[in-house]
């Protein structure tokens, strides 16, 4: 049984070797040019096999039947056009990738701000009502995490609510996805973008009830909770109320922005033209290289195709930064980091400044003095300010001392 489990694990690892997103906490010891995980070589196997067969066919025809070699001037003319097209393709794809990353950075920042506002600035009333306030704050913080997880699934064309990392966070909400998910059985196998998109469209067509927009519904529930805080008077300061509403608006902007990145690819005319030009150039290589290289035409064509098609495939892969390819954004990691951040913020009651200001471990004038709060509170205001001035002079003296050491070191070297 142990042997079988080991074999299964190995086969699974081999199966998932070219599937992502990449684990950012893992660092390979292999040199960059020898790494396979993250490369597009697996997607290039069939195209390179075809190019090798084509180059072999043309070379054999030129050698044994009739010389089909042509002037290599087309290498320069077509090469410029292909380079221009691939440059445009790669730059537009990378721009979409970075835009997706910026939206997720904004989501993390806004979520942290909103959780901190709710946890610290929403008051908890006395008695049993205070328990409800505390549980309400915890529930709202969990909904912020649920928004990120639901957005991740939406961007990956997973429209339901039954996924393991999501169902426990929103099981208590009345949503369209929650109602529709009861009759759905998921296929957890990761697939390419085209197949995933096709299955998503099929799910929408077969759905007996509307699937809704789960992240937007979660935001609606969060808005209702913020309104309840305003109504019951536990969120009194107007500036905090404004910040909370602005944070909700920013989360909605992230939702629409990521949806725009996902659903606005490069116009199909550009994609088709660049793909056709690239393949015409690759297929013309054997005719132009044979006069100079003869049999070396075959490996030379394969190497050139590897370079050209590799750049094109990288652009195709990162154009949608939210999928399951190795080079896509690690959305699972982002969601887990946010969950841990929320757990850290909510792990303790809102801190009271007097507890840490008056702590015996508080060294207010470090490194000038090792004295704690009690020692400096006995000196009076003027004594404390004099200590602050002395600490400032201490910093300047340290810089002058370090500068003198560096100067003496240079003199010794000379």
282-303 pLDDT, tens digit per residue, is: 999 999 888 888 899 999 999 9
Residue 370 and residue 343 in one domain: no
Residues 336 and 373 in one domain: no
- Asked whether residue 176 is assigned to any structural domain, the reply reads yes
Give the closest residue to 298 by CA, choosing from 64, 62, 63, 59. Answer: 59
Report the alpha-carbon distance of residue 37 to residue 26 in Å, rounded: 11
CA dist 7 and 28 (Å) reads 23
- Let me know whether 134 and 186 are in one domain: yes
Is 339 in the same domain as 362? no
For residue 336, pLDDT beyond 70:
yes
Average pLDDT value for residue range 308-324: 89
- Spatial distance between the Cα atoms of 308 and 327, rounded to a whole number of angstroms: 19
Interval 202-255: pLDDT, tens: 555 555 566 788 999 999 999 999 999 999 999 989 999 999 999 999 999 999
Residue 87 resides in a domain: no
Render 299-310 in DSSP notation, one character per residue.
Answer: HHHHHHHHHHHH
| 241: its two tokens | 């109320």
Q: Is residue 278 part of a domain?
A: no
- pLDDT over 90 percentage in the chain: 42
Do residue 215 and residue 168 come from a single domain?
yes
Same structural domain, 359 and 223? no
Judged against a pLDDT cut of 80, whether residue 152 lies above it is answered with yes
Looking at the structure of the chain, the number of domains it has is: 2
10 φ, ψ to 5°? -65, -45
The per-residue pLDDT for 355 is 87
Predicted local distance difference test score (pLDDT) of residue 173: 86
Lowest pLDDT segment from 113-127, 188-202, 318-332: 188-202
pLDDT for 9 beyond 80: no
**202 part of a folded domain:** yes
Is the domain of 195 the same as that of 341? yes
Give 331-369 as a DSSP string: HHHHHHHHHHHHHHHTTSPPP-HHHHHS-TT--TTTTT-
In a domain, 143, yes or no: yes
When mean pLDDT is compared over 86-95, 144-153, 269-278, the highest value belongs to 144-153
Q: Say yes or no to pLDDT of 18 above 50.
A: yes
Would you call the peptide bond into 100 cis, given omega within 30 degrees of 0 as the criterion? no
331 vs 134: CA distance, rounded Å: 29
Same domain for 344 and 383?
no
As a whole number of angstroms, the distance between CA 308 and CA 285 comes to 12
Cβ atoms within 10 Å of 375's Cβ, excluding its own: 14
* Integer Cα distance of 148 and 254 in angstroms: 10
Prediction pTM value: 0.81
**Binning pLDDT at 50, 70 and 90, where does residue 42 land?**
confident
Residues 234 and 338 in one domain: yes
Contacts of 86 (CB under 8 A, 6+ apart): 274, 278, 308, 311, 312, 315
What percentage of the chain exceeds 70 in pLDDT? 79
Tell whether 228 and 118 lie within a shared domain.
yes
> Rounded CA gap, 35 and 28, in Å?
8
Domain limits at 152?
A: 111-263+331-350
Flag whether 376 is in a domain: yes
How many Å apart are CA 377 and CA 384, to the nearest integer?
A: 8
Of the candidate ranges 22-26, 110-114, 228-232, 250-254, the one whose mean pLDDT is the lowest: 22-26
Confidence check: pLDDT of 23 > 70: no
Tell me, yes or no, whether 4 lies in a domain: no
- Confirm whether 300 is domain-assigned: no
In a shared domain, residues 238 and 365:
no
Which range has the worst mean pLDDT, 172-186, 354-368, 384-398? Answer: 172-186
The H-assigned helical ranges of 122-166 are 128-155
Query: Are residues 248 and 114 in contact, defined by beta-carbon separation less than 8 angstroms?
Result: yes
255 and 362 share one domain: no
């Amino acid at each position: 049984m142990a042997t079988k489990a080991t074999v299964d694990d190995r086969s699974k690892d081999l199966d998932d070797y070219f599937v992502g997103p990449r684990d950012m906490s893992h660092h390979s010891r292999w040199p960059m040019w020898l790494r396979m995980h993250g490369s597009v070589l697996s997607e290039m196997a069939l195209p390179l096999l075809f190019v090798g067969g084509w180059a072999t066919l043309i070379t054999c025809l030129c050698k044994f039947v009739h010389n089909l070699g042509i002037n290599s001037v087309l290498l320069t003319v077509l090469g410029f056009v292909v380079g221009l097209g691939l440059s445009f393709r790669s730059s537009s794809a990378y721009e979409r990738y970075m835009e997706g990353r910026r939206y997720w950075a904004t989501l993390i920042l806004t979520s942290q701000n909103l959780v901190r506002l709710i946890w610290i600035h929403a008051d908890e009333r006395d008695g049993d009502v205070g328990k409800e306030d505390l549980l309400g704050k915890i529930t709202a913080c969990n909904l912020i995490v649920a928004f990120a997880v639901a957005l991740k699934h939406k961007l990956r064309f997973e429209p339901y609510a039954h996924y393991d990392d999501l169902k426990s966070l929103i099981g208590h909400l009345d949503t369209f996805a929650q109602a529709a998910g009861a009759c759905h059985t998921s296929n957890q196998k990761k697939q390419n973008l085209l197949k995933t998109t096709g299955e998503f469209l099929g799910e929408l067509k077969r759905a007996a009830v509307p699937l809704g927009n789960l992240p937007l519904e979660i935001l609606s529930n969060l808005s209702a909770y913020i309104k309840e805080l305003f109504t019951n008077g536990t969120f009194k300061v107007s500036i905090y109320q404004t910040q909370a509403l602005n944070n909700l608006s920013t989360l909605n902007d992230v939702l629409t922005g990521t949806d725009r990145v996902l659903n606005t690819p490069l116009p199909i005319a550009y994609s088709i033209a660049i793909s056709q030009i690239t393949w015409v150039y690759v297929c013309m290589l054997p005719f132009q290289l044979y006069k100079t290289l003869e049999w070396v035409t075959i490996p030379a064509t394969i190497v050139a195709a590897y370079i050209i098609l590799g750049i094109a495939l990288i652009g195709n892969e990162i154009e949608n930064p939210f999928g399951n390819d190795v080079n896509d954004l690690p959305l699972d990691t982002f969601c887990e980091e946010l969950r841990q951040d929320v757990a850290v913020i909510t792990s303790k009651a809102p801190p009271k400044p007097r507890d840490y200001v008056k702590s015996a471990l508080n060294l207010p004038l470090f490194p000038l003095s090792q004295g704690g709060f009690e020692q400096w509170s006995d000196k009076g205001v003027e004594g404390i300010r004099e200590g602050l001035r002395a600490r400032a002079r201490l910093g300047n003296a340290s810089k002058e001392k370090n500068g003198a050491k560096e100067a003496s070191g240079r003199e010794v070297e000379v």
